[in-house]
Amino acid sequence: MSKNFLAEALPKRPAQKTNKFKSNGGFSTSLDATRVSVRTTTSGSQYSVPTLEGVEFDRMRRYGLTLARWSLPDHQARATKVKLPVSCYESANRAVANRMFAKTFGDDPTIDTVNLTPYVNVINSGKITPELIHSLAGFIGTKAYTKVCNSIKPTPMGMAVRGVLKQIETIVADQCMDETGWMFQQLDNIHSSIQRRRRSANHLFDTIANAINAQTNELMRKLDVSSKPQPPKPKVKREKADKPFKLQELAGEDGWCKPYLAKYPLELPHTGKLGRRIIATNEGKYPKNFHRLVTDPFRRIFTRKTRSLGGVVVFDCSGSMALSDEQIRQVLRSSAGCSIICYSDNGDEEQDKAHGNIHLVAKNGRQMRGLPEFGGGNGVDLPALRFGYDHLRLNGRSPVIWVSDGQVTGLTGSYRTVLRQRVDKFIESRGIHWVETPEDAIKLLTKLQKGITK
């Protein structure tokens, strides 16, 4: 092998069978063709590196040496054993080699050695395959990887691909970039003569390969669901408000759709305003207000005392959630003075601006006649929570409850971990309760009304 390999820059390799290599050809013009096959047999390991002169070919030869030093032995057999695609382990080998190449030589193996145009064209055309994601994962830790990510168009599919690659990148960094150097010591043991040390190093590669496979499968599942024609949602006939609603533009949040608050006529009374009150009701033991038989269309001739914490309930009304008028009434009966808002974006800013994406359903003892139609997306999770907490609570004791499946989306229309983290931080700092169904919200409001906090 050539002196240009700079073998003295690499850690010393133990005298193992996996360190005995045989050439498998000497011509290649790209980094993809630079390959190393590490076997545990005496003469099974092979390498394929270029023999031409030049800076780029020297860079590929040094990359081949790096692969030979840190590739997982017999990764094909290991992939078969754990039932993972072989390409996941191949990408894990290259992701580790990229980090070790940069640490050892202070260089980037992809400079002038890869052609990224085919990768970018395939992603932007929407023809996403697991093999493509696995190949891109093999560039993690290089300038080529950064260039590919920056070249992806900001479409929902492109943002989904970029998010998956970022997740894999984080896991690779956790496994390979340890400030104390401990991780690098573990990787140096990949060809150790001590089985316990080899097993520890193998575990790092298993973690990366499993992450690549899991994130790729999740992406393909989402793309498959989004590509299939969705059955039309059944239209529920609801009683509309007699008067038109008013729209108010709220302060926006970075990463979310522009929030527009729709204020409807709150024409129907419910259990009353906050605090201790004597209110009229249509059921009871002793009738007192006989004049209501004529003046009250609901004929509430009985009275009862009520005392409530009030509260604010924020409903996620995206396509994955369901909400009915009866559930709204049950929530209102659980706590007098309760305010309710529902949110769901329409997938288009013009539609949001025309119809609203945050809907004020009930406030201070009044409610609208029937729920409006919702767009089907999320889009404004954090703006809705912030509006409910800052503007609808009547005092500091009023609880705020968020009813959602936990899937938050922003401008991209797809789930974003960073947006969910911001929502988690907000509800934790404000003491907001998170439940998954309207029934859970009703139970929680009933407990809080009785003074039960656990």
- 281 and 264 belong to one structural domain: no
| 84 and 213 belong to one structural domain | yes
Same domain, 358 and 317: yes
Residues 26 and 92 in one domain: yes
Query: Looking at the domain assignment, is residue 234 inside a domain?
Result: no
Is the residue at 436 inside a domain? Answer: yes
Is residue 240 domain-resident? no
**Domain-embedded: residue 238:** no
Which portions of the chain are predicted below pLDDT 70?
1-28, 39-44, 47, 175-185, 225-243, 270-277, 279, 305-308, 320, 453-454
**252-300 confidence digits (pLDDT tens):** 888 899 999 999 988 887 654 444 557 677 787 778 887 787 788 777 8
Residues 42 and 148 in one domain: yes
**Tally of domains within the chain:** 3
Task: Answer yes or no: is 454 within a domain.
Answer: no
Domain of 177 in residue numbering reads as 3-227
Give this prediction's pTM: 0.47
- 241 domain-assigned: no
Looking at residue 225, its pLDDT comes to: 53
Q: Considering 227, 261, 288, which residue would you say is the last residue of a domain?
A: 227
SS (H, E, C) the chain: CCHHHCHHHCCCCCCCHHHCEEECCCCCCCHHHCEEECCCCCCCEEEECCCCCCHHHHHHHHHHHHHHHHCCCCHHHHHHHHCCCHHHHHHHHHHHHHHHHHHHHCCCCCCCCCCCHHHHHHHHHCCCCHHHHHHHHCCCCCHHHHHHHHHCCCCHHHHHHHHHHHHHHHHHHHHHCCCCCHHHHHHHHHHCCCHHHHHHHHHHHHHHHHHHHHHHHHHHHHHHHHHCCCCCCCCCCCCCCCCCCEEEECCCCCCCCCCEEEECCCCEECCCCCCCEEEEECCCCCCCCCCHHHHCCCCCCEEEEECCCCCEEEEECCCCCCCCHHHHHHHHHHCCCCEEEEECCCCCHHHHHHHCCEEEEEECCEECCCCCCCCCCCCCHHHHHHHHHHHHCCCCCCCEEEECCCCCECCCCCECHHHHHHHHHHHHHHCCEEECCHHHHHHHHHHHHCCCCC
232 occurs within a structural domain: no
pLDDT of residue 424: 92
| Predicted pLDDT at 185 | 66
Identify whether residues 265 and 287 lie together within a single domain.
no
Question: Is 239 within a domain?
Answer: no
